Amino acid sequence: MKALRYHGPRDVRYEAMDDPAPQSNRDAIVQVSACSICGSDLHIYHGHGFSEDMGFCVGHEAVGEVVEVGSGVSRVKVGDKVMLPAAVGCGACRSCLAGNVANCEFNAGACYGLSAGLQGSQAEAVRVPAADMNAVKIPEGIREDQALMMTDALATAWYGARRAEIKPGSSVAVIGLGPIGLMAVEAAYVMGAHVVYAIDPIAERRALAAEAGAIVLHPQDAIEAIREATGGRKAECVIEVVGSDATVDLALRLVARRGTVSVIGVQQSKRYAFPLERAFAAGLTFRAGTCSVPEELPMLFPLVQSGRLKPEKYISHRMPLSEGAEAYRLFEAREAGALKMVLVPG
C-alpha cells in the first residue's frame, strides 16, 4: 500500500510500505477513505517526535471501511463504516470500557502514528488493535467528514472546554484558534458561556472566531482588554490550545481568582516554571492533559447529529494522499487559509 512515512524533520514522503496485517484475532483491517493532519503531527514533522524510529507511517485521525476482522471481533464486521479514535486501549479493562484509554490497566494505551509500534493512519489502510473498542461505527445522521473531525479534534476541543468547568454564564478565554481552538469556542457557547474571548495572532483565524460570536483579540492586547472588559476580574475559564510556555503563561495571567485553566495544547518544552505561589494565592484550578476520545463521544454524537456543533466547517483543504508532503507544508506555514487538512486516497 501507499502511505505517508516519516524520514526526519520536514521529510514526510508518500511511498510504498507493507500492507497492514492482523497481529491478533481481536484486530481488524480498515481501508481508509479519509484521514487528516492534526496540529500535534507537526511535532513529529519538526523532528520533536515521540520516537527515534524512521520510516513509520504518521497520522492518527481516520475514517474508513472494515475489510478484515479477526475471529475474536464481534462488534464490527466487514463492510462497516467506522471512525478510528486517535488513541487505542486494550478494550477489556475497566478504564478502557469506560472510555478512558489513557488509564488502561494493562498499559496497552497507545496512539497511532507516533512510532513503528503502532503504524499511523495517513495511509491506504490501517491495522486496528482490539477492534471491538477501537473501531467505532459511524452513527446514523453523522457524515464521514464530521466523523473524521470527531476522531480527535472535536473530542479534544470538547474535553478542553469541559475540563475548564464552563457553566451557564461563565466568561471564557480560548488561546489559539486552529481547528481545535475554534471548536472550543463553539463548545464553550454550547455549554452556556456568556462571553468568549478568542485569542490568536492570525487575523483570518480571529475572523472565524468572530463569526462564531466571540470577542477576538491579538495576544498582545488580551490581558489589558479582558481586564478592562471584566472590571479587573478577568476570565473565569481559560482554554489553552497551543502548548508553548508563552501561551500557558498567558492563560495563567488571564484567569480570574478561583478560576480554571485547561491546557490541551501538546507541550513543546520539557520543563515549565509553573508560578505556584501566584496560582496558590489566587486559588486556581489547573488541568492539563490529552483527551481520551471514546470518553467524549457519547456527548458529542447527539450534538453533531442535531447540528448544534458543525465541526466539518473547519475543513479547509481536501487533497490526495499523494500530495501529503505539500499538505504538511501548507499546514505548517498556515498558507492559503490552512485549518484542517483532509487527505483522501489517490
User: By CB neighbour count within 10 A (0-12 exposed, 13-18 middle, 19+ buried), where does 278 fall?
Assistant: exposed
Q: What per-residue confidence (pLDDT) applies to 50?
A: 78
CB atoms within 10 A of CB 61: 29
Residues pairing with 84 in the sheet: 62
- Mode of pairing for the β-strands spanning 62-69 and 81-84: antiparallel
Q: What per-residue confidence (pLDDT) applies to 208?
A: 97
DSSP 242-255: S--HHHHHHHHHHE
Q: What per-residue confidence (pLDDT) applies to 266?
A: 86
What 3-state class would DSSP assign to 279?
helix
pLDDT in tens, the chain (346 residues): 999 999 999 999 999 999 999 999 999 999 999 999 999 999 999 998 778 899 999 999 999 999 999 999 999 999 999 999 999 999 999 999 999 999 999 999 999 999 999 999 999 999 999 999 999 999 999 999 999 999 999 999 999 999 999 999 999 999 999 999 999 999 999 999 999 999 999 999 999 999 999 999 999 999 999 999 999 999 999 999 999 999 999 999 999 999 999 999 987 777 788 999 989 999 999 999 999 999 999 999 999 999 999 999 999 999 999 999 999 999 999 999 999 999 999 8
Residues pairing with 82 in the sheet: 64, 137
DSSP 284-328: -EEEE----HHHHHHHHHHHHHTTS--GGGGEEEEEEGGGHHHHH
Per the CB < 8 A criterion, the answer to whether 198 and 216 are in contact is yes
Domains delineated in the chain: 2-152+292-344 (3.90.180.10), 157-288 (3.40.50.720)
pTM: 0.96
Cβ-based neighbours of 74, under 8 Å, separated by 6 or more: 132
What 3-state class would DSSP assign to 121?
coil
CB atoms within 10 A of CB 200: 25
